[in-house]
Amino acid sequence: MYKDIATPVRTKEILEKYGFSFKKSLGQNFLIDPNILRNIVSHAHLTENSGAIEVGPGIGALTEHLARGAKKVVSFEIDQRLLPVLEDTLSPYDNVSIVHSDILKADVEAVIAEKMPDIQDIMVVANLPYYVTTPILMKLLNDRLPIRGFVVMMQKEVADRITAKPGTKEYGSLSIAIQYYCTAEVAMIVPKTVFMPQPNVDSAVIRLIKHETPPVDVIDEDFLFVVTRASFVQRRKTIFNNLQAGLQNGKAKKEDILAALEAASIDPKRRGETLSIQEFGRLADALHPHFA
């Protein structure tokens, strides 16, 4: 077993050797605690036949733990300055491929087909760059990749919104956008002290496991998300008022919205945050003929 990259001493050595300076704009907060890394990887339940996709390997702190626990690791890194560093730090591992790319622009499906053709079980495991947490998750979900799920670090506030249940103040269109595809839970809360440099916000690791089938069957998925986004624009307003303001640029007919709410058995005076994903599904289907 090699010396961990993620100790404060070794991380400093590596950064000094390469004269590396952190770019805040790329969300570069590196992990410097091997225990946290072991914990993160344990939540992914990898086997020696699994594959791991990583977003943003940095200097390889998490990557090497994945390399030890999985058959194959593919890591997407946007910062060219890190490529020679990773080549050096990950040289002991022959099961890691680094792809120099912005994950938001990458054809991840093609990369999986090329680098993991024989792997059945694939997890995304990452300490995400916080400035693009939601776009990254939505892209990887919308790409319909052959993956089991995600174990990912993000800012705690976003983790709370993603995993929120109806009736809480964190519950909103992001909770529904993610929970439509996956079960979502907070796996661990992570203190600032395990990062270099320390971020300004608290962090959490969440685990998302993709549903075999969505929790609600709808006519039009995109329209479900149009309805949920509209329903939360002003959280204090009723579902009826939000839909009236949000659908068809405020020109939607009042009677059509009321009829759809009635057809879906939803009281127009309720607020969006009280509706379950199943209720939003019924509502979206009832609104669909008028507004999609």
Chain positions contacting ligand SAM, by CB under 6 A: 26-31, 55-58, 61-62, 76-79, 102-104, 127, 129, 132
Pick the closer one to ligand SAM by CB: 61 or 239.
61
Pick the closer one to ligand SAM by CB: 29 or 179.
29
Pick the closer one to ligand SAM by CB: 132 or 227.
132
CB of 104 to ligand SAM, least distance (A): 5
CB of 234 to ligand SAM, least distance (A): 32
Instruction: For residue 86, give the amino acid letter.
Output: L
Chain-centre distance for alpha carbon 232:
20
In whole angstroms, give the CA distance from residue 123 to residue 137: 13
Residues 6 or more apart in contact with residue 200 via CB below 8 angstroms: none
Q: Where does the chain show beta strands of DSSP type E?
A: 30-31, 51-55, 72-77, 96-100, 122-127, 149-155, 182-190, 195-196, 203-210
DSSP codes of every residue in 177-194: HHHTTEEEEEEEEE-GGG
Question: Which DSSP symbol is given to 40?
Answer: H
CB of 106 to ligand SAM, least distance (A): 8
Pick the closer one to ligand SAM by CB: 136 or 286.
136
Pick the closer one to ligand SAM by CB: 80 or 213.
80
Q: Which of 172, 138, 173 is nearest to 154 (CA)?
A: 138
Q: Which residue is nearest to ligand SAM (CB)?
A: 56
CB of 202 to ligand SAM, least distance (A): 14
Q: Take residue 103 and report the two structure tokens written for it.
A: 């994950």
CB of 136 to ligand SAM, least distance (A): 7
CB of 232 to ligand SAM, least distance (A): 27
Pick the closer one to ligand SAM by CB: 154 or 184.
154
